[in-house]
């Protein structure tokens, strides 16, 4: 049977990546059959995530493992003249395209490769701030921007990168021409705030943080539930859902209450409405609230933490977690890609190879160098 891991079979990717966006993009591509070779060096150029965590072994950093599953490793000292030459042989935009006009190159710089900020150092949080998300993802009464711990530029980058790469590969097979993709993470992030730009450019408004407020739903918020730090999100979008919600909480009289008869009145009296909802949720378990609301056709969801997600029956039913019985950090489970190919089998995820584990195979098979030469380079710290 054809497996999902053969979709990108025959595609070879050389990855000069660090952190989250680039490495995770490589992980996704490797998971569906591409041969992804990550290039690093102990002499300068190790993936930043190798230093995250308490492990002294740079191959055992949990964040590095998470982002580099299925990826091979080539360790080349780019500060050595021979190392730089080998990289030019392996990957050079103009040089390689002369030999392979179908070559596709994807770059994921924070601000893009052109423009006055193209040389700026970037990380998930300063890109989130620059995009406007840190300011907007806030509650109106906060005295300073707080934002979120989620590094959304990275998440968007590692989804957009493989998507654009596959599109470019399909085009190169059809047209015989490759392309270099300049994917500025800040632009991909800012693009998700489209309605915010429209508020300014069309209406001249200055959008402010709205917290959990939503102009087309009430009640709409995150409500405290029974237990320590337990919460449930509830969203009532129209009058039909409002009538159902009133039945759920045993307050049928609220349907005819003049303060809440339609969406506009519920929005106007949101504070009083939230007080009623909070009184009901505070005495009940979040999971029971979600189940009861969903059964009545009212959107609701438990605010889950990591432990909740690991045991969630929905995710377990879909085999969302991939188990590793043995690894450098012991047994663990890790999320898969988040989608299923129906009618195809899918091979298990693979741990990333140790740093430099593929030196001999890559330099021998790809570039044709013999073992003696490769060993000499190892002694000279070209491969390090």
Backbone torsions φ then ψ of 118, nearest 5 degrees? -65, -25
16-31 average pLDDT score: 94
157 vs 339: CA distance, rounded Å: 18
Strand partners, 15: 38
| Cα 242 to Cα 235: distance, rounded to the nearest angstrom | 9
Average pLDDT over all residues of the chain: 91
Question: In a 10 Å sphere around its CB, with 0-12 CB exposed, 13-18 middle and 19+ buried, how is residue 154 labelled?
Answer: buried
Structure confidence at residue 207 (pLDDT)? 87
Tokens 């378990």 belong to residue: 285
> Over the stretch 150-195, which tens digit does the pLDDT of each residue have?
888 998 999 999 999 999 999 999 999 999 999 999 998 888 887 8
pLDDT band at 50 (very low <50, low <70, confident <90, very high): very high
pTM listed for this prediction? 0.88
Please give the Cα distance from 244 to 242 (Å, whole number).
5
- What is each CA distance from 267 to 95, 147, 260, 273, 297, in whole angstroms? 62, 25, 8, 9, 20
Helix (H) or strand (E) holding 192: none
Highest mean pLDDT out of 13-22, 179-188, 247-256 = 247-256
4-191+336-379 belongs to which homologous superfamily?
Crotonobetainyl-coa:carnitine coa-transferase; domain 1 (3.40.50.10540)
Q: Name the residue with tokens 């590094």.
A: 151
Position 5 confidence tier, pLDDT thresholds 50, 70, 90? confident
Residue 21 to residue 154: CA distance in whole angstroms: 4
Q: Which of 346, 299, 301, 344 is nearest to 320 (CA)?
A: 346
How far is 178 from 156, CA to CA, in rounded Å? 23
Domain with CATH 3.40.50.10540 in the chain: 4-191+336-379
The larger pLDDT score, comparing residue 290 to residue 129, is at: 290
Angle between helices 152-175 and 21-31 (to 10 degrees): 50
Secondary structure of 22-60 as H, E, C letters: HHHHHHHHHHCCCEEEEEECCCCCCCHHHHCCCCCCHHH
The residue among 105 and 54 whose pLDDT is bigger is 105
Gap between the Cα atoms of 373 and 139, Å rounded: 62
Which of 219-223, 228-232, 250-254, 332-336 bottoms out in mean pLDDT, i.e. has the lowest? 332-336
CA distance to 31, 115, 315, 359, per residue, from 319 (Å): 15, 44, 6, 34
pLDDT for the residue numbered 93: 58
pLDDT reported for residue 336:
87
Least confident of 99-113, 291-305, 332-346: 332-346
Rounded Cα gap, residues 234 and 293, in angstroms:
8
Per-position b or e across 213-231, b if 16+ CB within 10 A of its CB: eeeebbbbbebebeeeebb
Superfamily of domain 220-305 in the CATH hierarchy: formyl-coa transferase, domain 3 (3.30.1540.10)
- Please compute the mean of the pLDDT values over residues 89-98 and round it to a whole number: 67
pLDDT at residue 366 in the model: 84
Q: Is the pLDDT of residue 56 over 90?
A: no
pLDDT band at 95 (very low <50, low <70, confident <90, very high): low
254: its two tokens = 């609220």
> Who's near 273: CB < 8 A, 6+ residues apart?
218, 219, 259, 260, 266
Residue 352 has pLDDT above 80, yes or no: yes
Q: Show the tokens assigned to 11.
A: 């595609």
pLDDT given for residue 338 in this prediction: 76
- Mean pLDDT for the stretch of residues 78-95: 79
Strand 321-324 and strand 300-302: the pairing is unpaired
Query: Mean pLDDT throughout 33-56?
Result: 91
Question: Which of the residue ranges 161-170, 193-202, 205-214, 364-373 would you say has the lowest mean pLDDT?
Answer: 193-202
Which tokens hold the place of 66?
């998470």
Of the chain, the percentage scoring pLDDT greater than 70 comes to 98
Q: Closest Cα partner for 69 from 28, 8, 123?
A: 28
DSSP state letter for 3: B
Domain with CATH 3.30.1540.10 in the chain: 220-305
Label residue 92 by pLDDT band (50, 70, 90).
low
């Amino acid at each position: 049977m054809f497996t999902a891991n053969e979709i990108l079979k025959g595609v070879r990717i050389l990855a000069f990546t660090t952190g989250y966006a680039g490495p995770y993009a490589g992980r996704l591509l490797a998971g569906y059959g591409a041969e992804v070779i990550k290039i690093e060096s102990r002499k300068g150029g190790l993936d930043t995530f190798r230093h995250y965590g308490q492990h002294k072994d740079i191959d055992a950093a949990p964040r590095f493992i998470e982002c580099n599953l299925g990826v091979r490793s080539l360790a080349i000292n780019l500060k050595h003249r021979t190392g730089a030459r080998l990289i030019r042989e392996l990957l050079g935009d103009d040089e390689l395209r002369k030999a392979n006009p179908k070559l596709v190159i994807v770059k994921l710089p924070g601000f893009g490769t052109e423009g006055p900020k193209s040389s700026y150092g970037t990380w998930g949080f300063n890109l989130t701030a620059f995009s406007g998300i840190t300011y907007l993802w806030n509650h109106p009464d906060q005295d300073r921007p707080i934002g979120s711990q989620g590094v959304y530029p990275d998440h968007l980058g590692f989804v957009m990168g493989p998507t654009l790469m596959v599109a470019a590969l399909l085009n190169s097979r059809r047209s015989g021409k490759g392309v270099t993709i300049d994917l500025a993470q800040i632009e991909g992030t800012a693009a998700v705030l489209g309605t915010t730009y429209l508020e300014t450019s069309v209406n001249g408004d200055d959008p402010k943080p709205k917290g959990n407020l939503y102009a087309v739903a009430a009640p709409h918020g995150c409500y405290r539930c029974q237990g320590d730090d337990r919460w449930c999100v509830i969203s009532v979008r129209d009058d039909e859902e409002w009538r159902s919600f009133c039945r759920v909480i045993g307050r049928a009289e609220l349907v005819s209450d003049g303060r809440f008869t339609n969406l506009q009145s519920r929005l106007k009296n949101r504070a009083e409405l939230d007080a009623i909802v909070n009184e009901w949720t505070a005495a009940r378990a979040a999971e029971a609230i979600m189940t009861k609301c969903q059964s009545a056709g009212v959107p609701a969801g438990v605010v889950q933490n990591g432990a909740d997600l690991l045991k969630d029956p929905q995710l377990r039913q879909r085999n969302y977690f991939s188990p590793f019985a043995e690894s450098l950090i012991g047994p663990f489970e890790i999320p898969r890609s988040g989608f299923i190919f129906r009618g195809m089998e899918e091979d298990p995820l693979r741990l990333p190879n140790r740093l430099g584990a593929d030196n001999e195979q890559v330099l021998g098979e790809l570039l044709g160098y013999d073992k003696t030469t490769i060993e000499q380079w190892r002694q000279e710290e070209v491969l390090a």
